[in-house]
Structure 1
């Protein structure tokens, strides 16, 4: 391979991670034309297009997916080697890239990032918030955050939160106007705030318990969101009934701005986990983040879910 292409490989990863040439250029401090030139140089060397470009989106081609599946781990190993050399002299540094859903930010990520900045100021933490099931390896991330049951078995998983319940809530004003549903079936007659996945375009069915049996409930209403935290705001505004993780509305339930509906139908989730490939576990920047998570949350990580974990 032409050695002059080596600097271009990180640019290819940035375009995929940022899902666009302009966004990658902003991250890298380059012009969009320079980013485009670098990607084109790699594509010419490989003899295959890596990205399918339209006026609205940039996505990997089949060849691009195969290439990045190999490239991303190799580039991560190089970065880890550089960071590890610095750590051997007592310095933990580098860029730690985390992919997390929006709901995980206030529940787990924000306090960790804040403390990480205080303890390890040479580490630059970059958090990408998206609610789809991202491929953290191909995306060039060091780690991701997911609900426990969605973490792949070949990943190392570290618990970030205890288990918590997904509950149904509404404002007193809405319930006074529309009435309070007494069973899961009654939700069909209410204005329910729906959730749509940006990546897949699919809508989320609410996981609930109906007479102690797990059911997935398709709901309808006048509003649908792509950020569960906004569903909370809409519920507070009296728009309708929202489905949300209980820790996110604990304060609103305590002060009466929201009320829990169908408490007997609340569904327990396994909790949020930080996950990453085993080969990344010894990277100093990630090791520091994991150790910090354990210190702050004080949770045992063994036995919560089958598979590899710490």
Structure 2
């Protein structure tokens, strides 16, 4: 294979995965015109059209899908081999791409990474902060960080944080105007603050549990947001009940701006885990990162 073939194929894979010349150009650090020229050259050389282009989108053709299915694992294998060559260096090196939610990076990941990056200056970390569920294989991440109960079964998961807990909270002034809920069904008589999920676009159903009994409640209220800090502000301002991570309202609970309700329906559950494909052969750099993040109670 000629060197330019490998470059052209890498370009095709970036455009096909991103389904956008603009996003692919940003990912590869080049211009859209250069990518378009490369794709025309590759399609002319192969004699088949690999991409269907419209004014709004780009998608692989049938031939493009076949090539992508073969090309992805092959280039991954080459990338893993290049990483393994780095293990022959005196110092571990390489780039590790991780997808993580904002809450996880603030509470668990960054405190550990701050020390890790200082100890291993030749290891580069790229974080994509996104609360939606990401396919780390398709999107070519090395690993992801999510709550333990949300992980796919075919992933290796390493616990990197303690148990976490959700709480139902409201302002004292709001709760003074009506009886506090005692069971999940009582939420129907309350104004509640809804969270719009970034992954699905739907509203989050509150997940409550007591004595092994699990209940999912669809709540209603005046205010909805896809941003948890905004829900906390709205709750503190008296606009209803919010269902959030306990550590996101620690100060509010301490100074009395918010109080808990339904506390016996909010048990702790598995905290954050680093996860990655079971077929991945970890590099020296990645193995060091796993050990640095591993939670030790």
SS at match of 1:85: helix
CA distance in 2, matches of 1:134, 1:15: 18
2:194 paired with 1:206: no
Whether 1:283 aligns to 2:286 is: no
The unaligned stretches of length 5 or more in structure 1 are: 300-310
Structure with max Cα Rg: 2
Flag structure 2 segments of 5+ consecutive residues without an equivalent: none
Please tell me the root mean square deviation across aligned C-alpha atoms, in Å: 3.2
- In 1, the alpha carbon distance for the partners of 2:114 and 2:250 equals 22
SS at match of 1:124: strand
What is the match of residue 253 of structure 2? 253
Q: How far does residue 188 in structure 1 lie from its aligned partner after superposition?
A: 1.8
Worse-superposed segment, 30-39 or 102-111: 30-39
TM-score computed with the length of structure 2 as normaliser: 0.83
Q: Given the superposition, is the C-alpha separation of residues 156 and 172 from structure 1 closer, same or farther in structure 2, using an over 3 Å criterion?
A: same
User: Secondary structure of 1:97's match?
Assistant: strand
| Counterpart for residue 163 of structure 2 | 163
Equivalent residue, structure 2, for 1:218: 218
Distance in 1 separating the partners of 2:109 and 2:9 = 29
Q: In structure 2, do the counterparts of structure 1 residues 259 and 33 end up closer, same or farther at CA, with 3 Å as the change threshold?
A: farther
- Counterpart of 1:298 in structure 2 is 296
Is 1:97–2:73 an aligned residue pair? no
**How many residues are matched?**
296
Alignment of 1:31-46 (within 5 A): 31-39=31-39, 45=46
Deviations along 1:117-168, whole A, 9 cap, x unmatched?
2122222211112233221111010001122222222211101122222221
Alpha-carbon offset, residue 175 of structure 1: 2.9
Distance 1:36 1:205 in 2: 44
Q: Give the structure 1 partner of residue 140 of structure 2.
A: 140
Superposed counterparts of 1:12-161, under 5 Å: 12-15=12-15, 20-39=20-39, 45=46, 47=48, 49=50, 55=56, 68=68, 70-161=70-161
Corresponding position of 1:307: none
* TM-score where L is the length of structure 1: 0.80
What is the distance in 2 between the residues matched to 1:210 and 1:102? Answer: 28
CA gap 1:199/1:41 in 2 versus in 1, 3 angstroms: farther
In 1: Cα distance, 2:23 partner to 2:229 partner: 25
